[in-house]
Amino acid sequence: MQDQEIIKWNITESKRRIRQEIKADNLIMFFTRVAEDLRKYKNPNFYGRVKEIFILLYPYSNIFNTKEIFIELKKSNLISKDGLRLDNQEVAYLKNFLKELDEDCKLEKQVSKNKIEVILKKLIEKYLPNSDKLIETYILGKLISSVGGIKKIYKMPSSTIQLIGAEKALFRHISNKKPAPKYGLIYYSEKIKKAQNKGKTARQLANKLSIALRVDYFQNFAQ
Amino acid sequence: MTNKKQTEWSPYKSKWKTAEEKNLDVGIENKDNILYLGASSGTTVGYISKLTLGLIFAVENSPKMAISLVKLAEKSKNIAPIFSDARDTKHLKKSMFNKKINILFQDIPSTDQVEILVNASKLVNKECKILFSLKTQSISQQNPKKTLEEVKSKLEKYFNIIKFKDLEPFHKKHYFFVLRKKT
C-alpha cells in the first residue's frame, strides 16, 4: 500500500474507535453539572457548558470562539458523525435546554431548575436503573462526575465509593494519625439522615451501591 | 482544546529533545520510519515529522489526547495516528502494513513499561534503533538507582545496552536507554 493510503486508513480507523469510547455517561455528567451550577451560584452563564457539549458532538471542528460556538449549536440539528450518538428523546431534551437560553446564555432560575432535574431523572432511569433505586439522582450524578465516568467507578471497591468527597480527611488520617472518616458525599442521602447508626448504614449502602453500578455497567455500557 | 501556538521545542517537556541535549545519539536519517509509543497530544511528534520523509506511527491510549493527534495528522503529511493500547501488538501489526521500522521510541509511564517494550520489539528487526525512556517512580518508590539495576538486569536478557544516562536537570528520576535487539 502507498504511504498516503496507509495514513488515510489509520485516520478513519482511529476515528471509528474513538467514537465507541464516547458514551452516554457524558450526557449524565453534563446535566449534573448544569444542575449544580444552578444550585450554587446566583446568576450563572452557561458558555462553558455549551462549549463542552459542542466538543462532545463535534470533536474535530476548528471553531474556538465561545460566542460563535453558541450560535452554531443553536442552528444545528445535533446529529453527529464523529461524536456522541443521541436518541430522538435525548435530542429533544437538549433542544429544550438550548431554547431557554437567552442572548447572554443565562437561564431563568425558578422554572428551569425543576425542568433540568426532571431530565436528569429520566436519563438515570434509562441508563442506571439499579443504582437509581438506592440513592437520589443528584447525589448519584455527583458521584459519577467527581470520579470522571462510569468506566472508572465500576472498578472501585465499595470502601472507596463510601469515601468519595472526603479525600482531605482520608489523607490526614493516613499521614498524621488522626481518626478515620466514615462517609463522604453519601452522607447527604435520605437513608443516612434518618438512620441511628450512620457509619454502619454508610458502609452497607456503599456495599450495595457498588454491586448495582457493576450490574448497570455490564447491561448498558459494555459491548 | 484551544488554538495551539507554535511553542519552542523545549527539553523540559519533551524527552527526545532532552536526549539530544545530553548527546545520546537520537539522530534521524532522511527516510526513516518511526514507531512512537505514548504520543499524547502530539507536540514531540509534530517536531519530529518535519525532520524525516518517512512515516511516523503515533500510538495513544486516551480519547482526549487522541482527538488532538488526529487533528494534527489531518494537517501534516506523514503522521499516522493509532488509537489503541500499546500492549495490543496484533492491532499495531495490522495498522502498519509491513512497513520497515527504523526507530522505535517509547515514553509510557506505567508499572509494566519493560514488558511493553519487550512485546513491541517483536514488531521490529535487528537493525532497528530502540530508544527507551524509563520513569522509575511508576515502577516503585524506592531508591531510583536500585530500580535502575533491576531494570538493567531484565533488559540484558533481550537487548544489548549501548548507552544510558540520567536526564538531570530537566527530568528527575528518569533514565534514557539506547538499545539494539540481540537476536
Dump pLDDT digits (tens) for A70-111. Answer: 998 888 888 888 888 888 999 998 988 888 888 888 888 777
CB of A60 within 8 Å of a chain B CB? The answer is: yes
Is this prediction's pTM over 0.90? no
Q: What is the pLDDT of residue A2?
A: 86
Helix (H, G, I), strand (E, B) or coil at B156: coil
Spatial neighbors of A109 by CB under 8 A, at least 6 apart, are: A38
Tell me how far CA of residue B71 lies from CA of A7, A82, B166, in angstroms: 13, 13, 33
* A112: confidence class by pLDDT, cuts 50, 70, 90: confident
Work out the minimum CA distance from B13 to partner chain A, whole angstroms.
25
| CA–CA separation, A24 and A90 (whole Å) | 10
Work out the minimum CA distance from A60 to partner chain B, whole angstroms.
7
First CA to last CA across chain B, in angstroms?
A: 44
What is the residue extent of each domain of chain B? 15-20+30-181
The answer to whether A64 contacts B67, with C-beta atoms less than 8 Å apart, is no
What order do you get walking across the sheet with B56-60 strand by strand? B79-83, B56-60, B34-37, B103-106, B129-135, B174-181, B159-166
Tally of CB atoms within 10 A around B175? 20
With contact defined as beta carbons under 8 Å apart, do A115 and A98 qualify?
no
Q: Mean pLDDT, to the nearest integer, of A7-13?
A: 93
Map out the domains of chain A with their CATH numbers.
1-127 (no CATH), 135-223 (1.10.246.90)
Q: Which three cell numbers stand for residue B114?
A: 519493560
The answer to whether B66 contacts A18, with C-beta atoms less than 8 Å apart, is yes
What amino acid is encoded at A66 in this protein? T
Task: Report the mean per-residue pLDDT for chain A.
Answer: 91
Q: Is residue B109 reached through a cis peptide bond, with omega within 30 degrees of 0 on the bond before it?
A: no
Interfacial A residues in 112-171 facing B (CB < 8 Å): none
Percent of chain B with pLDDT over 90: 60
Which chain A residues touch B78 with a CB distance below 8 Å? 3, 7
CB of B70 within 8 Å of a chain A CB? The answer is: yes
Spatial neighbors of A137 by CB under 8 A, at least 6 apart, are: A117, A120, A121, A124
Which chain A residues touch B70 with a CB distance below 8 Å? 11, 14-15, 18, 60
What amino acid is encoded at B5 in this protein? K
ipTM: 0.89
For residue range B123-149, what is the model confidence (pLDDT) as tens digits?
898 889 999 999 999 999 889 899 999
Class of residue B127 by CB neighbours under 10 A (exposed 0-12, middle 13-18, buried 19+):
exposed
Looking at domain B15-20+30-181, its CATH class is alpha beta
